[in-house]
Amino acid sequence: MRLQPQGSEESKAFVNAFLKRSMPKKKAEAIQDILTRKAVVLEHYSQKKKKPKRKKPKGFTAKQRREMRLFEIEPEQQRYAIFLPLHELWKQYIRDLCHGLKPDAQPHMLQGKLLKADLHGAIVTVTKSKCPSYVGITGIILQEFKHVFKIITKEDKLKVVPKLNNVFSVEIDGFISYIYGSKFQLRASERSAKKFKLKGTIDL
């Protein structure tokens, strides 16, 4: 079998077609510019394999959580004494957070840190309320939701107290902080990024 020599035009067409296949991402003008200015090392072009997207695991919906009763505390566990160790842990957590709660500490600085702190385990008292039956309720916060606190009292009663229209007091080492529930309707995980106003009159 003999190979016939190709003319200059045919050779040029063959080279251009070959380069287009070898360098598909470059335009014809760019290929010509490369050919006239520098030597070209041809490499095998392979398409990059697309990585399959990982599907994020879906959590439970609010309805599923309610049906599974994930946040319910069993009646036999509703005992004030059971959660006193939790309160002691909370006090140590606040002392560490506020660097010891020293007497010369600035109250507004402590107030700001306490408002952003985790309150699970804190002993709170309802000091003011538009509903008189809530005033005086005192206990350990077992659960905090966006709109309510679940509190266990010394009488081993589990109380669900709404934040709206209630003022709560928290005392630790002689320092008393007040929480205006109407301005506190956030989940515990959302408060760390929230800016609270420490001055001015706040209505119920």
pLDDT of residue 90: 94
Name residues of the chain where pLDDT drops below 70.
Answer: 1-8, 11, 15, 19-20, 22-28, 31-32, 34-48, 62, 196-204
Predicted pLDDT of residue 200: 44
pLDDT score for 173:
84
Contact 159, 151 (CB under 8 A): yes
* CA nearest to 119, candidates 187, 58, 19: 187
* Percent of the chain with pLDDT strictly greater than 90: 32
Q: Which two tokens stand for residue 166?
A: 């209630």
Pairing between β-strand 123-129 and β-strand 166-172 as defined by DSSP bridges? antiparallel
For the record, the structure tokens of 22 come out as 């070898």
Put residue 49 in one of left, alpha, beta given phi > 0 → left and psi -120 to 50 → alpha.
beta
For residues 50 and 113, give the distance between their C-alpha atoms in angstroms, rounded to a whole number: 47
Cα 25 from Cα 175, distance rounded (Å): 69
Spatial separation of the C-alpha atoms in residues 124 and 115, rounded to whole Å: 13
Give the full edge-to-edge strand order of the sheet including 158-162: 158-162, 148-152, 138-144, 123-129, 166-172, 175-180
83 near 140, Cβ under 8 Å? Answer: yes
Q: What is the pLDDT of residues 154-201, one digit of tens each?
A: 999 999 999 999 999 998 888 888 989 988 888 877 877 777 665 544
